[in-house]
Structure 1
Amino acid sequence: TTGPPCSCLNGGFCQDSACVCPSEWAGPFCDIECVFLYSFCTVNFCEDSVYTVNVSENVMKNLTFERTIVGQYSSSKEKCEPNTVNGNSPIAVRMCSRKGIIPVLEPPSILNCNENLDSLVLQVETADASNVSTIASNTQILTSIPSRLTTQNISVAANIAVKILRKPNISEHSQAPVAVLTTVSQLLDANETEFNNNNLVNVTASLTKTMEEFSLMGNVTQPNVAVQSVPLKLNSTILFLAQKGKLGHVVGFTGTRSEGSSNDGRVGFVLYQNDKLFQSRVYKSKINLSKQIVSGNVDGGRASGVEIAFNPKAFQIKYKYAKPLEYVSYVGVGLSIAGLITTILFQIFTR
């Protein structure tokens, strides 16, 4: 897994720091018995699947995908040929989403086995609208296994994301921004040690700055990052609400506004599930706490104030002590009681 191990009950198993539950159980720890609605169980995964694609003229190929958690991508078991640029990399990825209560598999995205991140970054500058979507899709596939990403992979993928998001009228593309935000979401699942490199600071700073600019015109939600934008009216109040799913991922990021007079610009927010893109060259945190980052941007107006409300449950700390400490406590209490009894008896017999 790419994160701390999870405690799955009732036959569930841990995958990508989340529990994959049997069909009769659901919830973050497979501890909720499924409620059947309209003959469907509210499970949190898509089953194994096979998808047939046309790889060349008159040549069909079956792509096999394993069980996938809702909101995540599954890599195909089929790999690129060893003699290609991406030899032994998954040839495709497929997302498991949810429509209502039913997990649904999206059509797979197919990788060009003769392209890698280094070759893709060289093509972005001169790519036209159709090629931008292809580059974004290939980048998404190449970063679909976060646990394998190196510092160099993260740097190049972030650079590609920056170049694509800075393309003119990129928000009008239907696929490219979604693929880019998916890539950023996958980068946030990469091993934290890969971000402890000062060479990444400038790249990640550029990415977060570009994301902030894109938030004024984009509306995209992915498991680890969400972007939302709404019009800003004169003397208006903007309210953003972020909701989390059972697996801890962002499932909704909505913006509302009170009525004002005329349009006075736009306001946008970006929500990050962790702070991996916000590393400091100087300060290194020694406290292992989960940190979410919210970035806001106002265009064509001025914000007079910002208020943030948190769910108090997020700050409840459950302490877990080791068994030896528990035994030491028992011994200490026993000795205290014995000492008290001895003192009482001493006072009785010496008076």
Structure 2
Amino acid sequence: MAEEERKVKIWFKLSLCFLASLLLTVWGWLIISALFTDSIPAPTTAPPPCPCQNNGVCQVGGCLCPIEWTGTRCETANFCEKSSSHGLTFDRIVVGRYGHSRETCEPSTFNAGAVKATRLCTRRDGLPVLEDPRIQNCNESLDSLKDQLEGSPTSEEILQVASSTQLLTSQPEQLTAQNITTAAETVQKILGGIARSQEQVAAAAVATVSQILNANESEFLSESSSLDNVTRSLTKTLEDFSVDENATLLVQPNIAVQMVQVTAQDASTGILFSALRVPGNDSGLIPNRINYTTASGLTIHPAAEVQIFINVTGSSDLGRVGFVLYQNDRFFNSRTYKRKLSYSRRVISGRVANGTFNNVELAFSVPNDSSVSLSDHACVFWDYALSDWNTTGCAKASGAFGLLRCSCNHTTNFAVLMSFRPNYAYAKPLEIVSYVGCGLSILGLIINLLFHIITRLKTRKSKRTSGSWLLVNLWTSMLVFNIVFIAGVGNEDGREEEHKVKADTANTVPKSDIETVPENPFCTAVTVLLHYFLLATFVWTAAYSVQLYLHLVNRVVQQLPKYFKLMSAIGWGVPAVIIAITLGATYRVDNPLNYRQEEFCWLAALDRAGKFDITKPMLWAFLLPVGAILVLNIIIFVTVMVQVICKENKNLRSTKKQSRLKKLLTCLSMAVLLGITWSMGYFMLINQGETNFIFSLLFCIFNATQGLQVFILHTLRNPVFLKKAGEIFDRISPPKIRLYLHSDKYSMLSSSSTWSTQEHYKQLGTDSSQLSD
């Protein structure tokens, strides 16, 4: 009876320790959650109703209207309704834009499938009006149209060429570099002087330029010197055209051309040109958001996408200022500045005719992209002599409303080149549950190792010690992994670097629009160690599962020490080979994120858009080998459970029928030892919010506490450990507790219970501690 009371006392004290650890974990989790939970915002009064109509957005000073509406409250239609003419049908067309017919060229023609006709919607006397449709010859090509401009073509022929060129470029995604070159040469001839005074011709030519700017970017990046020369020559032509006395405001989705007449009265001030944002609009620039005004300086508008102020003096009544705004920079292909992000980089040109130029001030908006934040920028102009961006004569200035300001002492094509740093979601501290769980696992693994080394490896010299030796290696790799995880998985250096303000204010051209993350040797080293010891843990679980199968199912006894050497080479060597291959294939000092992540020190898995990337090492250097090991472990686990645990096995030396609880504990112990709970990590790849969260939570709980589970299910159930722990508790327990625990209230075991160590070791298949032998 005394022995039974003593064992109850030990279980009671160990339960109290475990309950205290659990309470501390929950308490710590609640505190951390309270610290990192956003406070509830104070209630605010409801804003006044917005007077804007047709999905207009209220802002200070008026309504921000969508593309199809205009007016002070967005009440005026800015489009031409659906129409039919000459047997052709057209959908709704925005004022200033061209609409294309639903009908296309017949299959037997040269331009089969191309748009057959185009129609312009303009405004006359304040009302939207449709021009007559222009129908193309479906057997003409861009080359034949360009040839028609040779000699002395009539005005009607020029208009037909301009309209047909605009039609043949109306599907920009199909344009090749050769198509772009031919169309650009045609537009250059038209705007270069032969018909710039004809309003419809100029409108069709500018619409063609807008469509060319929407062609695939890869076509502009092709090794075609002729295309580069033509597009750069075309930008010069557009700059000259912008100050032509017959030029008017021409706005298309990707380009806007504006000529402003400057009188002597405006000579003491200057001209401010602005392009404002359009709410919910992805179709580019629109006329009612392009405006100019006289001003004494750059007055930043909070809704501006880009602004330019040109200060002129001594202008006569014939003085003119011209502006050309490009929605993207496809005509300005830089060799020094590489683009990786997909947002539009606007380019604006300013030109002064018949006046004295003083200076230029500019403001550019920063793209609204939550995945990146601005790191640096440069104020530049396009240098035709270098065929690249240059900063000479331009300087940075302080901005406002999220706009970047520049100041230049000359006129040409200007832009702001921006460099961004990705916004990494640095771990807060990687979920307190992981840290507490790993801490408890470390404690459990240390106890496991000490107990196993003292009681099994040193005292048992039989040939069946291979199971214990495998477990020591398994727990050692698991222990080192948990220690390294707690010590360095959070990238503290990266988090500090993220909040540093760039001190360099020099106006220098950045190399790329995405800043390369600097190498952090400590984080890379932690990633390598975590990768190695976690792989080693799984390789040792595979070795242990094979040993279980051979010993319990096939009754094969390994020969030592040859078996030890083979298992050591596999257990510690295979992970080293995988690490070496992974580092050699992915790691570069100038690009460490091809191997590791920046948010925390672990293998790279996602691309720039946050999607799982199969080319990253997370898949082929971890998920695939670990997946193969888990499949092997699960097959052996099921086989052992069916043939040894679940069935009445005559080969077992136990004479007692196992209880269901003991069988369940044995199954759980084996599952934890073989790392089968890690298979839940593969379900985290399911990209559904609730499902992903559930599996992430289960994965975190079960695997962060794996070492603790091993201790509870494997070592804590061992009578030898209970005996040793009881001796220690007998030495340190206060007298009152000893008396209390020895009371009759805690006599839970029958006098016939047997707790001898010898009987425990005989229960093969009944207890997980025996399975390790």
d(CA) in 2 for partners of 1:174, 1:129: 11
Once the 2 structures are TM-superposed, how far is the Cα of residue 209 of structure 1 from its aligned partner? 0.8
Q: Which residue does the alignment assign to 2:645?
A: none
CA RMSD of aligned residues (A): 4.1
Once the 2 structures are TM-superposed, how far is the Cα of residue 230 of structure 1 from its aligned partner? 1.6
TM alignment of 1:301-320, pairs within 5 A: 301-311=355-365, 314-319=366-371
> Greater CA deviation, 292-301 or 252-261?
252-261
Q: 1:193 to 1:42 in 2, by over 3 A?
A: farther
Q: TM-score, normalised by structure 2?
A: 0.34
Q: Which residue does the alignment assign to 1:19?
A: none
Match of residue 271, structure 1, among 325, 344, 348: 325
Q: 1:81 to 1:216 in 2, by over 3 A?
A: same
CA shift digits 1:68-96 (9 cap, x unpaired)? 67775443232223343323322113456
d(CA) in 1 for partners of 2:126, 2:435: 57
TM alignment of 1:212-227, pairs within 5 A: 212-217=239-244, 218-219=247-248, 220-227=250-257
TM alignment of 1:93-172, pairs within 5 A: 93-94=118-119, 107-126=132-151, 127-168=153-194, 170-172=195-197
CA shift digits 1:137-169 (9 cap, x unpaired)? 11111111112211111111111000001125x
Gaps of 5+ in 2: 1-52, 58-65, 296-311, 373-423, 443-731, 733-773
Once the 2 structures are TM-superposed, how far is the Cα of residue 316 of structure 1 from its aligned partner? 3.8
Percent identity of paired positions between Structure 1 and Structure 2: 41
d(CA) in 2 for partners of 1:244, 1:108: 31
- Does the CA-based 8 Å contact 1:228-1:270 persist in structure 2? yes
> Aligned to 1:303, what secondary structure does the other structure show?
strand
Q: Which residue does the alignment assign to 2:434?
A: 335
Whichever residue aligns with residue 223 of structure 1, its letter is P
Q: Which residue does the alignment assign to 1:14?
A: none
Once the 2 structures are TM-superposed, how far is the Cα of residue 107 of structure 1 from its aligned partner? 4.4
- Does the CA-based 8 Å contact 2:85-2:133 persist in structure 1? no
d(CA) in 1 for partners of 2:112, 2:323: 39
d(CA) in 1 for partners of 2:337, 2:328: 17
The structure whose residues are more often helix, as a share, is: 2
> Aligned to 1:228, what secondary structure does the other structure show?
strand
- Does the CA-based 8 Å contact 1:46-1:104 persist in structure 2? yes
TM alignment of 1:179-190, pairs within 5 A: 179-190=204-215
Q: 1:318 to 1:81 in 2, by over 3 A?
A: same
Which structure 1 residue ranges, 4+ long, deviate > 4 Å from structure 2?
Answer: 24-28, 40-47, 66-74, 95-107, 258-262, 325-331, 337-343
Q: Which residue does the alignment assign to 1:228?
A: 258
TM alignment of 1:22-37, pairs within 5 A: none
Whichever residue aligns with residue 171 of structure 2, its letter is I
d(CA) in 1 for partners of 2:293, 2:90: 39
- Does the CA-based 8 Å contact 1:240-1:254 persist in structure 2? yes
Once the 2 structures are TM-superposed, how far is the Cα of residue 306 of structure 1 from its aligned partner? 0.9
- Does the CA-based 8 Å contact 1:201-1:281 persist in structure 2? no
Q: 1:82 to 1:338 in 2, by over 3 A?
A: closer
> Greater CA deviation, 218-227 or 65-74?
65-74
> Aligned to 2:332, what secondary structure does the other structure show?
coil
Match of residue 274, structure 2, among 241, 244, 261: 241
Q: 1:70 to 1:174 in 2, by over 3 A?
A: closer
- Does the CA-based 8 Å contact 1:27-1:44 persist in structure 2? no
Q: 1:287 to 1:165 in 2, by over 3 A?
A: same
- Does the CA-based 8 Å contact 1:111-1:141 persist in structure 2? yes
Whichever residue aligns with residue 270 of structure 2, its letter is T
d(CA) in 1 for partners of 2:350, 2:102: 40
Q: Which residue does the alignment assign to 2:703?
A: none
Whichever residue aligns with residue 333 of structure 2, its letter is Q
Q: Which residue does the alignment assign to 1:256?
A: 293
- Does the CA-based 8 Å contact 1:92-1:110 persist in structure 2? yes
Once the 2 structures are TM-superposed, how far is the Cα of residue 289 of structure 1 from its aligned partner? 3.5
Once the 2 structures are TM-superposed, how far is the Cα of residue 52 of structure 1 from its aligned partner? 2.9
- Does the CA-based 8 Å contact 1:46-1:70 persist in structure 2? yes
Q: 1:331 to 1:238 in 2, by over 3 A?
A: closer
Q: 1:203 to 1:25 in 2, by over 3 A?
A: same
d(CA) in 2 for partners of 1:92, 1:165: 22
Match of residue 235, structure 2, among 187, 195, 208: 208
> Aligned to 1:136, what secondary structure does the other structure show?
helix
Q: 1:235 to 1:187 in 2, by over 3 A?
A: same
Q: 1:68 to 1:178 in 2, by over 3 A?
A: closer
Once the 2 structures are TM-superposed, how far is the Cα of residue 203 of structure 1 from its aligned partner? 0.9
d(CA) in 2 for partners of 1:68, 1:228: 22
Once the 2 structures are TM-superposed, how far is the Cα of residue 286 of structure 1 from its aligned partner? 3.2
Whichever residue aligns with residue 300 of structure 1, its letter is N
- Give 1 or 2 for the bigger CA radius of gyration: 2
Whichever residue aligns with residue 256 of structure 1, its letter is T
d(CA) in 1 for partners of 2:170, 2:54: 27
CA shift digits 1:110-161 (9 cap, x unpaired)? 1122322110111113223222111111111111111221111111111100
Once the 2 structures are TM-superposed, how far is the Cα of residue 272 of structure 1 from its aligned partner? 0.5
Whichever residue aligns with residue 159 of structure 1, its letter is E
d(CA) in 2 for partners of 1:204, 1:109: 26
Gaps of 5+ in 1: 1-23, 54-61, 344-349
Match of residue 291, structure 1, among 345, 353, 357: 345
d(CA) in 1 for partners of 2:76, 2:354: 44
d(CA) in 2 for partners of 1:215, 1:192: 25
d(CA) in 1 for partners of 2:106, 2:348: 42
Q: TM-score, normalised by structure 1?
A: 0.70
- Does the CA-based 8 Å contact 1:26-1:44 persist in structure 2? no
- Does the CA-based 8 Å contact 1:93-1:144 persist in structure 2? no
Once the 2 structures are TM-superposed, how far is the Cα of residue 245 of structure 1 from its aligned partner? 2.8
Once the 2 structures are TM-superposed, how far is the Cα of residue 97 of structure 1 from its aligned partner? 7.0
d(CA) in 2 for partners of 1:250, 1:273: 8
Q: 1:254 to 1:160 in 2, by over 3 A?
A: same
Q: Which residue does the alignment assign to 1:280?
A: 334
Once the 2 structures are TM-superposed, how far is the Cα of residue 98 of structure 1 from its aligned partner? 8.3
